[in-house]
């Protein structure tokens, strides 16, 4: 459930405010219909104006519900896709037990939360074109898991469709004397990329579906 919540919030595309979407993407309707879960869908293609790939979106012809999407990388190769398999417009939620996050999360308060973080978060110096800050959050991980899992500060950015997450936490071991980047690891998993490493006394994570060089550029400017 925790992994699913993360994927929904930060991996999957979300249509944001119209002015932000149209600033970052050219938007065109694809002629004809697609059928998903027995529903006739309108088809749209959004092309990044900054070379970050494209997205095909399938909306229910009757109510505009999002029933599927395909994300393509800058070389127009399919990178990830999602499609609804069935639709129920009258679901029953009696006795439904909804999953809850293991660690509580709230808006970041620098006056109080920096003490709990054990670090002063550093702002992102470089951001990919078209990306704007959406929110800044604090995850109270130590209350749930103990001091071996440090509290987390993260900034969420969006270009209207794609997401970028920059997270910071204290190190569990003593940092290297130099306040520069010590190492960085790269991982591609399930349609999302992660760059993580150490800069000074901070553990840093940069997460998103953007090209790897963009995530590395964001990370490299965090020292």
Predicted confidence band at 167 (pLDDT cuts at 50, 70, 90)?
A: very high
**What pLDDT is attached to residue 183?**
53
Helices (H) and strands (E) in the chain, counts: 5, 12
Q: Are 132 and 158 contacting, i.e. CB atoms less than 8 angstroms apart?
A: yes
Q: Are 205 and 185 contacting, i.e. CB atoms less than 8 angstroms apart?
A: no
**pLDDT tens readout for residues 63-115:** 999 999 999 999 999 988 999 999 998 988 888 887 777 888 999 999 999 99
Superfamily (CATH) of domain 2-83: Lipoprotein localisation LolA/LolB/LppX (2.50.20.10)
Better-scored residue on pLDDT, 191 or 97: 97
Percent of the chain with pLDDT over 90: 57
| HSE-CB for 186 with a 13 A CA cutoff | 12
Distance, CA of 12 to CA of 207 (rounded, Å): 12
Question: Is it true that 2-83 and 105-220 share their CATH fold?
Answer: no
Superfamily (CATH) of domain 105-220: MucB/RseB, C-terminal domain (3.30.200.100)
Q: Measuring CA to CA, which residue among 129, 121, 211 is closest to residue 166?
A: 121
Q: Measuring CA to CA, which residue among 105, 209, 100, 223 is closest to residue 163?
A: 209
Cα angle 184, 166, 130 (rounded to 5 degrees) comes to 115
Better-scored residue on pLDDT, 192 or 5: 192
**pLDDT tens readout for residues 16-33:** 888 999 999 999 999 999
**pLDDT tens readout for residues 194-213:** 888 888 788 999 998 898 89
**What pLDDT is attached to residue 1?**
47
Question: In angstroms, what is the C-alpha Rg of the chain?
Answer: 20
What residues does each domain of the chain span? 2-83, 105-220
Distance, CA of 42 to CA of 108 (rounded, Å): 39
Residue 3, token pair as written in the block: 């992994």
Tokens 């002063």 found at: 120
């Amino acid at each position: 459930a925790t992994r699913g919540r993360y994927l929904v919030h930060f991996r999957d595309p979300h249509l944001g405010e119209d002015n932000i979407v149209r600033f970052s993407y050219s938007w065109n309707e694809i002629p004809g219909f697609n059928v998903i879960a027995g529903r006739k869908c309108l088809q749209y293609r959004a092309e990044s104006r900054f070379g970050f790939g494209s997205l095909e979106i399938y909306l229910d012809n009757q109510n505009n519900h999002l029933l599927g999407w395909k994300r393509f990388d800058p070389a127009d190769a399919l990178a990830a896709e999602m499609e609804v398999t069935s639709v129920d417009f009258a679901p029953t939620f009696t006795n439904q037990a909804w999953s809850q996050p293991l660690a509580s999360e709230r808006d970041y308060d620098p006056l109080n939360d920096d003490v709990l973080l054990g670090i002063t978060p550093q702002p992102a110096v470089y951001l990919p074109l078209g990306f704007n800050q959406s929110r800044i959050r604090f995850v109270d991980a130590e209350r749930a898991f103990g001091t071996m899992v440090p509290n987390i500060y993260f900034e969420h950015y969006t270009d209207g469709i794609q997401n970028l997450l920059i997270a910071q936490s204290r190190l569990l071991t003593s940092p290297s004397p130099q306040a520069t980047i010590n190492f960085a690891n790269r991982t591609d998993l399930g349609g999302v990329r992660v760059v993580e490493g150490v800069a000074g006394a901070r553990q840093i994570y940069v997460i998103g579906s953007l090209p790897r060089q963009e995530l590395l550029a964001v990370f490299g400017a965090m020292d």
